[in-house]
Amino acid sequence: MRDVAKLAGVSHQTVSRVINEHPNVRAETRERVLAAMRSLNYRRNLAARTLATRESHTLGIVGFETTLFGPESMLYGIESAARAAGYLVSVATVRDLSHRPVLEAVDRLVQHGVDGIIAIAPKPAVTTALTHAPAGMACVAVGGDGQAGFPTVRVDNTAGARLATRHLLDLGHATVHHVAGPLDWPEAQARVDGWRETLYAAGAVVPPVTAGWWDAAAGYEQGRRLAADPAVTAVFCANDRIALGVLRAMHESGRRVPEEVSVVGFDDMPDSGYFLPPLTTVHQDFAELGRRALALLLRHLDLPDGDTPPDGVVVAPRLVPRTSAAAPAG
């Protein structure tokens, strides 16, 4: 730092202010210091900074190994928001969303000296493990049902299911069938709740729920069964990959979409508009989830010891109408 100060013709305190983006530095001086840093290939010593401030400026993220669009997009959204705010990110992934592996991931992050932890929490075991983080460690969960006991950021899955189901009823369908995700995931259960509540409120018949994994194979399997029932005219799928499987099953069975059967998904994957037909779906803003999660964690970090953590955040989804849903024939 002193070499940079000498080359730029300023004090080392001024160099420190530039590095820490202090506003009270003239633009000309700031540029001279930055030019000297580039010339000398200067990099701040993060280890020394951590020792001096007792802050690593690193955030921990607990994720899990998956190709599922939702959790994968949550991870990307959180990482992008953290880096945009100038934080380093340390990610600990687990294969199994049970208590012990998640707790071990939290311990690894704590040992790396992270300032706080954001966990992607599709199952209760994740939030339970976070409650065992060391006292004073700020934690935020993304996803789940909002019953974690600490700040949570989540999409209103129940409201999203209501949007999808209400859209199909408004098109004139007598009822709506639902192909659900795994019911031990709070998001899947919330979508079932929103679908069922909307049908009850409309006085419509509530068909049995069919549940499976979050993939096209599960959608295809359930779609073949639904396609064999001529009374089925509308299907709400728990995610877009399930909807893809349902669309194929309908096509192979000779049930035209949307002329004979309407199909609506959930997620709004980037490819959803290129399904055949383009999929009507419920959009989740994963970038916004990441920004909200980071903002919530930073508020938590700024709290004096003993203060109550900030309230959770619920992000509203929105319906994206395309051409896979239409009024029933006749």
Top-confidence range, 43-47, 115-119, 127-131: 115-119
- Token pair in block for residue 114: 């992270």
- The distance of Cα 66 from the centroid of its chain, to the nearest Å, equals 13
Residue 185: how many other CB atoms lie within 10 Å: 23
pLDDT of residue 50: 45
Segment 278-302, tens digit of pLDDT: 999 999 998 888 888 888 888 888 7
pLDDT of residue 122: 77
Strands 210-211, 152-155: pairing is unpaired
- Using the predicted structure, report yes or no on whether residue 310 has a pLDDT greater than 60: yes
In 136-288, DSSP assigns E strands to 138-142, 152-155, 177-180, 210-211, 234-237, 262-264, 281-283
pLDDT of residue 47: 46
What pTM, to 2 d.p., does this model score?
0.79
Q: In the chain, what are the domains?
A: 1-44 (1.10.260.40), 56-155+286-316 (3.40.50.2300), 157-284 (3.40.50.2300)
Of 17-26, 51-60, 155-164, 196-205, where does mean pLDDT reach its minimum?
51-60
Q: How confident is the model at residue 221 (pLDDT cuts 50, 70, 90)?
A: very high
pLDDT of residue 247: 98
Q: What mean pLDDT, rounded, does the chain reach? A: 87
- Token pair in block for residue 200: 């009850």
